[in-house]
Amino acid sequence: MFEQLKEKPADKILALAQAYREDPRADKIDLGVGVYKTPEGVTPIMRAVKAAERQLWEVETTKAYTALTGDPAFLDAMVGLVLGEALARDQVSAIATPGGTGAVRQAFDLIRMVNPGARVFVSDPTWPNHLSILAHMGIEVVMYRYFDAETVGVDFSGMMADLDGLRAGDVVLLHGCCHNPTGANLNMTEWQAVVDLLNAKGALPMIDIAYQGFGDGLEADAAAVRYVAVNCPETLIAASCSKNFGIYRERTGILMAVAQDRALQRVAQGNLAYLNRQNYSFPPDHGARLVSMVLTDDALRADWQAELEEVRLGMLRLREQLAGELRRLSGSDRFGFIAQHRGMFSRLGATPEQVERLRAEHGIYMIGDSRINIAGLNETTVPVLARAMIDVGI
């Protein structure tokens, strides 16, 4: 049977990481993989997470299975973190999933189960895994315009024009905050217009939120998701705990299905549990338990929020520094977008040739579409990147 298998192309981001590791240059800079790093280049375990882990070691007495939907305390805590007080708890179905990717996959599974003909509209560009999972599942994809290479911001009129092609039952995938890979985001007025259009078309919003707390703060980053969930009849929300709790390898995420109609919510809950059962049965628990411990203990939560805020402000300072350095070197404001973008990423708008020159001539590694991980920089490397960008003609 295996002779039928075809070689799969290597994941581009992981291949880049490999090339970086093999580069002997001491002053190389890694702006590739999407993992938060301190200025010293380490991905730390957050203080509150470590403290919760120590407590857990003391108090955990069994490794017996949790519920099929995951630990209810985790679900409640995460529904609270993402949706706040926007909805009643009995309007939200939820399952714990292996990471945000697991939540995305389960959401697509639910969509396919309910409406095999549904098309999923995704932003151009989007996180490549959205596209590869959709292709793997045989779900039809429609790209909507999102990024304006000219302004290096959102092409909102193009986006709305493309969403005008929606049919009832189609799904629109939106990034809740900190768009990956561009860093360019909708403002609240634009979100409202999108919601009005989706409701007029009878389309379902699916929101992927993987960076809550990395943009404008925990509450501000959730404002759009909450607006959509309150104002659409139904909403799917895939949230990841990988970045904001720094627990990447623990595989912790949640899929929420919001329904204004409580009877539908109950059916949705049963179907989400069913999907967990079919795909992996019980979801992983360790990371989920740490998250619920941190969120429900006042002291741990305060410490976590303080550390997350340090992370967020550190990345904003790097954005300001890079934009300022480029303003000085280029004598123009054309790089102001770097300070406007939010989250861990910015797309610089460079050509593949320029990206390749940055790697070959300057040892600076970024994704081929010129996405940089801001957290890969520090105060010392920002001027190096700025000079190299000017040198290759960006």
- Peptide bond between residue 44 and the one before it cis (omega within 30 degrees of 0): no
Q: Is 124 a catalytic residue?
A: no
Strand partners, 207: 174, 237
Member of 109, 162, 208, 325 binding ligand PMP (CB under 6 A)? 208
CB nearer to ligand PMP: pick between 170 and 208: 208
Which x/- pattern over 169-188 shows residues binding ligand PMP (rule: CB under 6 A)?
A: ------x----x--------
* Distance separating alpha carbons of residues 374 and 237, to the nearest angstrom: 26
From the list 210, 229, 259, 268, the catalytic residue is 210
Which of 1-9, 93-101, 313-321, 323-331 is the region at the interface with ligand PMP (rule: CB under 6 A)?
93-101
- 8-67: contacts with ligand PMP (CB under 6 A): 34
Nearer to ligand PMP, 295 or 386 (CB): 295
Give the footprint of ligand PMP on residues 323-352 (CB under 6 A).
none
Q: Which stretch binds ligand PMP (CB under 6 A): 60-68, 96-104, 194-202, 316-324?
A: 96-104
Q: How far is the CB of 35 from ligand PMP (least distance, A)?
A: 9
- Find the catalytic residue in 48, 127, 155, 191: 127
Clarify whether 161 is annotated catalytic. Answer: no
Distance CA 203, CA 232 (A): 9
Site for ligand PMP in 104-163 (CB under 6 A): 104, 127
Which helix (H) or strand (E) segment is 147 a member of? strand 147-148
Contact between residue 385 and residue 27 where contact means Cβ atoms under 8 Å apart: no
Check if the beta carbon of residue 275 is closer than 8 Å to that of residue 112.
no
Residue with Cβ nearer ligand PMP (91 or 242): 242
Asked if 248 touches ligand PMP (CB under 6 A), the answer is yes
Separation between Cα atoms, residue 288 and residue 295, nearest integer Å = 11
Residue 244 touches ligand PMP, criterion: CB under 6 A: no
Whether 63 is catalytic: no
Q: At 199, give phi and psi (nearest 5°).
A: -65, -40
Buried (b) or exposed (e) across 294-333, using 16+ Cβ within 10 A? bbebeebbebbbebbeebbebbbebbebbbbbbbeeeeee
The vertex-35 CA angle with 33 and 36, nearest 5°, equals 135
Q: How far apart are CA 30 and CA 21, in angstroms?
A: 9
User: Does residue 191 have an active-site annotation?
Assistant: no
284 vs 363, beta carbon nearer ligand PMP: 284
Interface contacts to ligand PMP, rule CB under 6 A: 34, 99-101, 104, 127, 175, 180, 208, 210, 240, 242, 248, 253
